[in-house]
Amino acid sequence: MKWWGWGVDGVAFNPDNKPKFPGFVQEKVGIDIYHTTSEPRFEDLDVPASQLPEDLRATLVAALSEEQVVTEDLERVVHAYGKGVRDLVRVRRGELGRVPDAILYPRDEDQVVAIVEAAVAADAVLIPFGGGSNIVGALEAEPGEQRTVLSIDMGLLNKVLEIDENSGLARIQAGALGPDLEEQLGRRGWTLGHFPDSFNHSTLGGWIATRSSGMQSDKYGDIADITRGLRMVTPAGEVVALRPLPATSSGPSVREMILGSEGRLGIITEATVAIHRVPEVREIQAYFFPSYAQGLACMQAIAFSDAAPSVARVSDHRETAFTLATSKESKGVSNLVTKALMTYLKQRRWDLSKLCLSFIGFEGSAQHVRYEKAQVNRIVSEHGGIGVGKGPGVLYDQKKFDTPYIRDFLLDRGAVADVSETATPWSSTQQVYDAVIAAAENAMAEQGVAGYIMAHLSHSYHSGACQYFTFAIADDSDEAIDKYDAVKRAVQQAFVDNNGTVSHHHGVGEEHSPWMEQDISPAGVGIQRSLFGAVDPGRNFNPGKIIHDGQPGISSNSKQPAATDEG
């Protein structure tokens, strides 16, 4: 894993075969993509020495092995942060914060229990680490933390342990990355159906800890729907074992308490999840709409219909323009078809600057897919849309996990880019979209920076939908993060001011915690505070996440002691 960016070394966004991209970025954000900074060098970092006490090290080595207790600087820096834009800016600058003192790699649940018992006995801080792709500040130790900090990397717990074909359930260890678990399930003809943007670099345990949602959640459900049972090691060293029951009425749901807990209640070691047979047919169709409002209305109508597509996504005109700008150059027949389509839309008096691209996915038997496509095509037509075939959908499928690499590419060229997502009832989708766009652009203007914001509707439910916003500002100065903060705060405040939630699937961490009282009420925050305090009275498990006193990003530049959950 790169210590300074997304994903692994050798993989990056390449603009060379995207002729429209340089001009688009120049026009919208005001940066020259050919003006780059040098790649950061690890040897330039001043990494604080490990503070792992010898007696604790000896205890951990005895419980694990020498090679499973790692104190090398590179491993410690990789595990110090997630992959949020604030994380990447700071680590590139050499602002490393409180680097973990050791990285622990357990091989089974018994070793996790041993780690927990040793950490609590030594009054150390224990932070769970899955794929490291978190973007809300959920992986870093609090600033000023004086205790030993241990990162527990679950990557060796990566097996599909059992498949109950009669029930459509699978037991999977929490450290399994998306590609690994899908490969193991696929050998026997099954799929989890959970494909977040971070799929290649995130784990089952991480998905559960942040209440993740995948691109095909319209069909398979969010991870909260998929997770039926689980096992978690608590701060007391006890194992909570929840059976994979289809439903239960046994009081307040412990399963629900663990979902989204971000390591505050313990270390998830495995889960039993709902799985599905690999579908006979899978295809993604592309559609155009004359406006985002018509696209939103169409997605709502599809959600209310008999059709149940796996993906129902529509981009606003801003994101559509970005998508077209990152496309490869059309040649031959493909170029002629594209020109003919645009000519046809002009003849229908479409304003091509407001063009909105939609992707709708279908899965199942051939007969079922034909039925759903017929239903969707009718609804699209009723809302002024037009189908443009499978070609764009194939390209979307191929590069759906590549988008985060663009953020690194822009960061190398002086643009700070980030994402925020929210969920609202259908009655508030247009309202929250308009408010967020206006709030972000006003904040950019107030900060005196060029910038761009775009959005798409990504997940649909019976009562509402998730909208996903991406924004970038052009600034490579020392004040870049402060200016980013102003835009980020404007976006998040617009969410809660317009009937939205602070986050639909990225979690809370430290980034979103200042809005929690507005989101779930002061009394709701009080319940969470009481839960964390009762389960982890010593504040040994990922303290400061979800419930955090302070402003967004305070941990990035504050020199004050760590805030307490009781403050």
Question: 495 among the known binding-site residues?
Answer: no
List of residues 6+ apart from 375 with CB closer than 8 A? 305, 306, 307
Question: 424 among the known binding-site residues?
Answer: no
Whether 220 is catalytic is: no
Question: 197 among the known binding-site residues?
Answer: yes
Integer Cα distance of 466 and 469 in angstroms: 10
Question: 265 among the known binding-site residues?
Answer: yes
Question: 407 among the known binding-site residues?
Answer: yes
Question: 458 among the known binding-site residues?
Answer: no
Token pair listed for 161: 């342990």
Question: 213 among the known binding-site residues?
Answer: yes
Integer Cα distance of 483 and 29 in angstroms: 14
Question: 198 among the known binding-site residues?
Answer: yes
Question: 527 among the known binding-site residues?
Answer: no
Question: 195 among the known binding-site residues?
Answer: no
Q: Are strands 102-104 and 149-153 parallel, antiparallel or unpaired?
A: parallel
Active-site position among 81, 105, 220, 468: 468
In degrees, rounded to 5, the angle at the alpha carbon of residue 142 between the alpha carbons of residues 136 and 148 is: 125
Q: Are strands 169-173 and 415-425 parallel, antiparallel or unpaired?
A: unpaired
Integer Cα distance of 156 and 134 in angstroms: 19
3-state SS, residue 459: strand
- DSSP symbol at 119: H
Integer Cα distance of 217 and 458 in angstroms: 9
* C-alpha separations of 303 from 306, 375, 504 in Å: 8, 11, 18
Question: 103 among the known binding-site residues?
Answer: no
Q: Decide if 552 contacts 488 (C-beta within 8 A).
A: yes
First to last CA, the chain: 36
Question: 210 among the known binding-site residues?
Answer: yes
Question: 266 among the known binding-site residues?
Answer: yes
Question: 261 among the known binding-site residues?
Answer: no
Binding residue positions: 197-203, 210-213, 262-268, 407
Binding residue positions for substrate: 407
Binding residue positions for FAD: 197-203, 210-213, 262-268
Which residues are tagged catalytic?
468
